[in-house]
Structure 1
Amino acid sequence: MGVSLYYAATRATPLTDAELAAVDAIVTRWNDTAPYPDDEEGLHLYPADGAVLNGSTKLPFELDRTVPSLVHWQAAVTELRRALPDARWRVTIDDGDVPWTEEHGYLNPALADLDLVALLGEDPTT
C-alpha cells in the first residue's frame, strides 16, 4: 500500500489564462525532472468542485525512493502555491496536513538533508 500527496487550491475567481500557463509550465517542468520517472505518476491535476487547482501524486512504495520523491513533489507544490498566492491551499499526505512556512514552503528541511537521503541508501550525487 502506498501513500499519496494531495493538493488543492480554492478561491472565488477562476484561474486567469496567465495563471493557467504558469501552472502548466510548472507541472511540465517538475514532471520532466521527477527522480524516478518510470515509477511515479507525477503531478496529476484533475477538476474538483470549488477548487481552482486540485491534484495528487502517488509516492513510490520503496522507502529509499519515498523521501527523495517527497522532497521533489513538495518543492513542486510549493512552486504552484507561490504561483497562486491568493488561493487558499490544503496539502496533505494521505489524511495528514503538510505544514507550510514562508521560508521553506512545504519542504521539510530535514527531509532535504543530503545526509538523510544518503542514510536511506540514495546516492546524493545523482
Structure 2
Amino acid sequence: MSVSLYYCASRTTPLSDAESAAVERIVAAHRESFPYEDQESLYLYDSDDSRPDEIVTGSTKMPFDPGALLPVLDHVLGSVTELRRALPGAEWRVHLDDLDVPWDETEGYAFPGMRDPDLAAELDKL
C-alpha cells in the first residue's frame, strides 16, 4: 500500500500568462534540485476541462524508505509552498492521503516537527 501527497488549487479565475510562467518556473526548479532519482517528485496533472476552477492539481507518491520520506516530503512541500505563494486568491487543499497538511504563513506547508534534525537522524537509522 502506498501513501501519496495530493495538492490542488482552485479559484474562479484561470491562470494568467504570468502565473502560468511562474508555475512552470517553480516546477522546473523543483525538478532540477530534486536529489532523489529513484523517487517520485512533484507531478502536476494536465488541466481537466470538467473542473475549470482547479488551476493546479497534482500528486506525489511517497517513498517506503523511512530515511527518504521526510527529505522527499520536505522538498515537495517546499515547492507546493512556492506554488501557493505564486497564485494569490486560490484556495488550496494539500493532504497526505486523508491527513491535511497544515499551512503556516511563515513556514509554508509542513507537519509539526518534520524539519527537526533529531527526527531525521532517527529515521536515517531505520
Name the TM-score, length of structure 2 as normaliser: 0.88
The CA distance in 2 between the partners of 1:63 and 1:44, in whole Å, is 21
One of 102, 119, 124 as aligned partner of 2:122: 119
One of 68, 80, 84 as aligned partner of 2:83: 80
State the partner residue of 1:45. Answer: 44
Aligned counterparts, 1:24-43, within 5 A: 24-36=24-36, 38-43=37-42
The CA distance in 2 between the partners of 1:75 and 1:114, in whole Å, is 17
| Aligned-residue CA RMSD (Å) | 1.4
Q: Which runs of 5+ in 2 are unaligned?
A: none
> Do structure 1's residue 67 and structure 2's residue 70 form an aligned pair?
yes
SS of 2:78 mapped into structure 1: helix
Moved over 6 A (4+): none
One of 67, 92, 95 as aligned partner of 1:92: 95
Q: Is the 8 A contact 1:7 1:54 kept in 2?
A: yes
Count of aligned positions: 121
Q: Which runs of 5+ in 1 are unaligned?
A: none
> Do structure 1's residue 58 and structure 2's residue 61 form an aligned pair?
yes
Q: Is the 8 A contact 1:35 1:72 kept in 2?
A: no
Name the TM-score, length of structure 1 as normaliser: 0.88
Q: Is the 8 A contact 1:35 1:68 kept in 2?
A: no
The CA distance in 1 between the partners of 2:69 and 2:89, in whole Å, is 30
SS of 2:94 mapped into structure 1: strand
The CA distance in 1 between the partners of 2:35 and 2:72, in whole Å, is 6
The CA distance in 1 between the partners of 2:116 and 2:35, in whole Å, is 16
